[in-house]
Amino acid sequence: MVLAVSSCRTYRLPRRPRLGFIIRPPHQLLSLLLCPGLRIPRPSVLCAQPRPRAMAIFSSSWELPLVAVCQVTSTPDKQQNFKTCAELVREAARLGACLAFLPEAFDFVARDPAETLRLSEPLGGNLLGEYTQLARECGLWLSLGGFHERGQDWEQTQKIYNCHVLLDNKGSVVATYRKTHLCDVEIPGQGPMRESNSTIPGPSLESPVSTPAGKIGLAICYDMRFPELSLALAQAGAEILTYPSAFGSVTGPAHWEVLLRARAIETQCYVVAAAQCGRHHEKRASYGHSMVVDPWGTVVARCSEGPGLCLARIDLSYLRQLRQQLPVFQHRRPDLYGSLGHPRS
């Protein structure tokens, strides 16, 4: 594999810029970017641009944790999907990431509900075992964004959970979140989606988890349409919200980026969204455009077309400064509209 540094033009900036990095798919030249304020001459990629001056901070970018956001095109072939994901995770580790994010349905995208149920596994099955070994081998944390899980009630329900699994760098399961909002929609031009045909909604939210990159709040795809969830996670201490997804080709261009940026702005969190892309099989395709959004609402890293990964540094001192300068959570008026987003006791 060849690693190449993109040609770039640098700008003289009065303040340190936002930090975003673009990586091309692993089967092509990789464009790595530790060059702040650069513009890469490719229309499909976005890199670092300056923050507003009032938001500037001065901590060294080299000391900030690096995260990798993986973009894949899953199919019904679970072993081939694992091979693709493992290649991206190993590349993320080689580039110095402490945490890699995989999208919803990283394990497989089936052709119909019957195939979904047939291919599903329990958390203690062979596939999760391979990922725990991969995390140990690479020495980094893994966000496995949407595993088709046969839960303890499988024998009774014959349905599964859409489960977001967080592994630490020793391969231990640190947290699991089962998707609470199921996508049962009919979008003209995109085809009907009936997630509830095979999936049970999760019963609860998961408290934010401390990781080397910050405190992560777990969600999945359609959850991003419900700001109450993101507010609940932020008020519980989340610094990074993650929305692993498989957005469609109609809703993607219209809603994907604007929803992610809105969730980042209203919670003053980083938002990390690993996405499925391209055609999975004859019945389904996904929008892609995996990205990282900072707490100011700016996209700081974005995947180009096709499978690959992008990198971003997480600057928690910037997050804290922004929350101090714009203290929206202190200005809320629960006396007028209730405690929107507070988890129920």
Residue-level pLDDT at 35: 31
117 in any annotated domain: yes
Report in angstroms the alpha-carbon separations of 307 from 110, 211, 263, 310.
Answer: 18, 26, 25, 10
What is the distance between the alpha carbons of residues 136 and 171, in angstroms, rounded to a whole number? Answer: 5
Closest of 187, 213, 197 to residue 284, by C-alpha:
187
313 in any annotated domain: yes
What is the separation, in whole angstroms, between the first and last Cα of the chain?
51
What is the distance between the alpha carbons of residues 91 and 68, in angstroms, rounded to a whole number? Answer: 9
Q: Is 138 a catalytic residue?
A: no
Report in angstroms the alpha-carbon separations of 344 from 5, 163, 203, 204.
Answer: 49, 21, 12, 10
Q: Is 170 a catalytic residue?
A: no
129 in any annotated domain: yes
**Number of compact structural domains in the chain:** 1
Residue-level pLDDT at 218: 98
Helix (H) or strand (E) holding 166: strand 161-167
pLDDT tens, per residue, the chain with 345 residues: 323 222 222 222 223 334 445 544 444 333 333 333 322 323 233 333 334 333 333 345 678 999 999 999 999 999 999 999 999 999 999 999 999 999 999 999 999 999 999 999 999 999 999 999 999 999 999 999 999 999 999 999 999 999 999 999 999 999 999 999 999 888 887 778 889 999 999 999 999 999 999 999 999 999 999 999 999 999 999 999 999 999 988 898 999 999 999 999 999 999 999 999 998 998 888 999 999 999 999 999 999 889 999 999 999 999 999 999 999 999 999 899 887 766 555
Q: Which range marks the domain in which residue 223 is found?
A: 66-329
Contact present, 166 and 209 (Cβ < 8 Å): yes
38 in any annotated domain: no
Beta-strand pair 141-149/99-102: parallel
Residue-level pLDDT at 189: 79
Instruction: Select which of 85, 138, 221, 310 is catalytic.
Output: 221
30 in any annotated domain: no
What is the distance between the alpha carbons of residues 64 and 23, in angstroms, rounded to a whole number? Answer: 18
148 in any annotated domain: yes
CATH number, domain with residue 194? 3.60.110.10
Phi, psi of 68 (to 5 degrees): -115, 135
13 in any annotated domain: no
Residue-level pLDDT at 166: 98
Which burial class, exposed, middle or buried, applies to 320 when counting CB atoms under 10 A from its CB (0-12, 13-18, 19+)?
Answer: middle
* Plot region of 297 (φ>0 → left; ψ -120 to 50 → alpha; else → beta): left
Residue-level pLDDT at 58: 38
249 in any annotated domain: yes
- SS3 per residue for 56-95: CCCCCHHHCCEEEEEEECCCCCHHHHHHHHHHHHHHHHHC
Instruction: Select which of 104, 121, 195, 206 is catalytic.
Output: 104
Instruction: Select which of 179, 215, 269, 310 is catalytic.
Output: 179
Residue-level pLDDT at 107: 97
Full-model pTM:
0.84
